[in-house]
Amino acid sequence: MPDQEKINYLLHLADTTLILSHRNSEWCGHGPVLEQDIALTNIALDLLGQSRLFYQYAAELMGNTDEDQLAYLRTEREYKNLLLAEQPNGDWGQTILRQYLYSQFQQLLFQQLVTHNDQQLCAIATKSLKETNYHVRWSSEWVIRLGDGTTESRERMLHAIDELWPYTGELFDPAAYESVADVDFTSLQQEWNKRVKLIFEEATLPVPEKIFMQQGGKTGAHTEHLGYILADLQYLQRTYPNSIW
Amino acid sequence: MPVQDFEQLFQQKIDAEVKIEPKDWMPDAYRKTNIRQISQHAHSEIVGMLPEGNWITRAPSLKRKAILLAKVQDEAGHGLYLYSAAETLGMSRDEMINDLHSGKAKYSSIFNYPTLTWADIGAIGWLVDGAAIMNQVMLCRTSYGPYARAMVRICKEESFHQRQGFESLLVLSKGTPEQKAMCQDAINRWWWPALMMFGPKDSESTNSDQSMKWKIKRKSNDELRQNFVDMIAEQVKVLGMTLPDPALKWNEERKHYDFGEINWEEFWNVVKGNGPCNKQRLEARRKAHENGRWVREAAMAHAAKLAERRKQEAA
């Protein structure tokens, strides 16, 4: 496969996991209950670990760069993460739903990447999948709890669905470089729909239909949120260039 | 048996280094002192997540970010063991948390200082965790069993944090002029508050005598503080940095470092709530708890619904 496409694909996976990790890490110390603060931080750490593996592999293919240069010195227009990942935390319900929608997708995607003909990509997917299986379990249990909990929690979940659903179409709308994944996105979407529907049913939540879908993250056209995330994330590297930390 | 005899037996156990366990008889004051101390320790871990959490999103490399996230998560874990240890004495976690939020319970004053630069994260690891370890190593042998066992595990993680903090400062100390200045500035700001962590002088400490007799504490505030100064005064040389105390000097006769007088007025002010971040720290904790209320309620409501459904299915 052409290397540039592979590099772009790896950066897409790295950026998505890094940005979602960043968002989750904003909760650290502020969670609704200590055990769940720990659980979400754990997920943030898993995603950060995954992003590092993708960046390191991309850096190896690119040569003359490293994980930190890729994460800290690329701009908003160069970042290729999913729009879903950069959406604000909102309340706990919105954070949970964002995690579930993404993890459910990541699980199905990585289940296919584990048989990819690129050994390294295959190894990273295999390692990550164990973590992702837990993320799916944890977040889907919370979606059910909150959807089927109190009137207030249900209202909040409905609001979260309104906020986040428009960013789910992009998951299955492949950018040109995603051809290297060698994945059938149509059947991936069908399977994702099926699983999400089951969880939403148990949570007594409706699955939206015929909603306009936003896109652009994969090719660097983001929501306004990403600029602030990068300002935060990249602050020290930008303020003190060429320093070792 | 009269209470006096119970007390005598209790003291004999303590003297014979037998651990006190949750169901054992213990004097009320022993129970209260332990609840106060363990819950205060738990609160310190939880509030302590905030100053360091302040730099998670801005950590300067992915490796540093992973280390910091894991460290703050460890602190949440420590809070969890300690709340559980305190619960064995008969106070619920909810009650303890309410006492923290109402201002009735205290936490370590050190966390009322702000983390202004990245170097503060290293300085906290090295100095604040370093000072905490002095205290905690002693607490691994404290007389109340659940507390002592929790401390053994906590100590292992804390010494790891201290080494990570030192290593992070070591990198700064070898870096650019800006990084070196950042490192020295953080040491200057954290040194005195770290010394204050050991509490008032022995001559002023109200709880110490009884706690020593009950082996809740095994070393006095001044002894621990001296051990800490002796350790850090050597380590700072490796960093090529200095401690902000002109009176700091090796005393050949005492075989210890002499050091200057702590600003006790500042110490008491921060204890009373007038530190730079007291309000923000407590506000952040209250807000997290308040914003989480609907989540906790929903989880309970859902669990109740599930139980009801299972009951119906079984019938």
Written as tens digits, the pLDDT of chain A (245 aa) is 459 999 999 999 999 999 999 999 999 999 999 999 999 999 999 999 999 999 999 999 999 999 999 999 999 999 999 999 999 999 999 999 999 999 999 999 999 999 999 999 999 999 999 999 999 999 999 999 999 999 999 999 999 999 999 999 999 999 999 999 999 999 999 999 999 999 999 999 999 998 999 999 999 999 999 999 999 999 999 999 999 99
Phi, psi of B144 (to 5 degrees): -85, 115
Residue B41: exposure state from Cβ atoms within 10 A (0-12, 13-18, ≥19): buried
Helix axes B129-139, B177-196, angle to 10 degrees: 40
Q: What is the dihedral angle through the alpha carbons of B7, B9, B10, B13, rounded to the nearest 10 degrees?
A: 160
Alpha-carbon torsion (B26, B78, B116, B243), positive or negative = positive
Q: Which of B66, B179, B302 lies closest to A149 in CB terms?
A: B302
The pLDDT assigned to A2 comes to 56
Chain-chain contact of B72 with A41 (C-beta, under 8 angstroms): yes
Which pLDDT band, with edges at 50, 70 and 90, does B241 fall under? very high
In angstroms, the Cα distances linking B96 to A114, A205, B84, B239 are: 47, 36, 11, 40
Nearest CA among A82, A119, A84 for reference residue A6: A119
d(CA A216, CA A74): 17
d(CA B124, CA B73): 15
d(CA A187, CA A109): 11
Tokens representing residue A80 in the block: 């290729």
Q: Which of A41, A153, A240 lies closest to B178 in CB terms?
A: A240
Which pLDDT tens digit goes with each residue over A99-125?
Answer: 999 999 999 999 999 999 999 999 999
The pLDDT assigned to B270 comes to 95
pTM: 0.96
Q: Report the amino acid identity of residue B74.
A: D
Give yes or no for A195 touching B (CB within 8 A). Answer: no
Average pLDDT rounded to a whole number, residues B274-297: 97
Contact B277, B113 (CB under 8 A): yes
d(CA B266, CA B114): 15
Give yes or no for A100 touching B (CB within 8 A). Answer: no
Chain-chain contact of A48 with B69 (C-beta, under 8 angstroms): yes
SS3 B258: strand
The pLDDT assigned to A89 comes to 98
CA distance B291 to chain A (A): 7
Q: Report the amino acid identity of residue B199.
A: G
| Residue B234 CA to its chain's centroid (Å) | 23
